[in-house]
């Protein structure tokens, strides 16, 4: 039996998740999207959000932009507390582990991130903080939302 997962309370993100599921994982043609499930760092609740990504070899690269807000997004704070996550890419769901990109990796990956989602450049300029990049790789062990 799979544990209950709570979708993002943000109406735009909840709609994005709904479209992701309805379209088999292609809610925005031309943009790579995935669903990320993390465990709440305080609540322990499994939380799901929709995110754009780019690939770097076997890793999925996520951008903790929070639309340029001054604070990191909750999903990022959750995975720093517990890096075992679940990814859904298209119709495939699998366990994964997340880690923050090193400074050198982030510098190398930032141009690819902005090429995929140009709005990230404006978010970076307005955030007033370093926007972390996160590398997520598939594992064979337990992940957030396991049985």
Say how many domains are in the chain: 1
Give the pLDDT mean for 92-105.
Answer: 97
Output the domain CATH number for residue 56: 2.30.110.10
Residue 145 inside a domain? The answer is no
Residue 87 inside a domain? The answer is yes
**Residue predicted with more confidence, 85 or 119:** 85
Question: Domain containing 92: what range?
Answer: 5-138
Is the pTM higher than 0.95? Answer: no
pLDDT of residue 2: 58
Residues 120-126: contacts with CB under 8 Å, at least 24 apart: 120/63, 120/65, 122/68, 123/65, 123/66, 123/67, 123/68, 124/65, 124/68, 125/68, 126/68
Residue 93 inside a domain? The answer is yes
Residue 143 inside a domain? The answer is no
Residue 116 inside a domain? The answer is yes
């Amino acid at each position: 039996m799979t544990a209950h997962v709570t979708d993002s309370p943000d109406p735009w993100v909840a709609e994005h998740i709904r479209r992701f599921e309805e379209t088999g994982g292609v809610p925005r043609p031309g943009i790579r999207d995935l669903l990320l499930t993390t465990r709440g760092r305080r609540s322990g609740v499994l939380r799901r959000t929709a995110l754009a990504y780019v690939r770097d070899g076997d890793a999925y690269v996520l951008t903790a932009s929070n639309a340029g807000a001054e604070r990191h997004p909750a999903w990022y704070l959750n995975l720093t507390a517990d890096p075992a996550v679940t990814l859904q890419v298209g119709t495939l769901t699998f366990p994964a582990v997340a880690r923050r990109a090193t400074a050198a990796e982030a510098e190398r990956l930032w141009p690819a991130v902005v090429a995929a989602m140009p709005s990230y450049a404006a978010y970076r300029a307005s955030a007033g903080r370093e926007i972390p990049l996160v590398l997520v790789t598939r594992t064979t062990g337990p992940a957030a939302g396991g049985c």
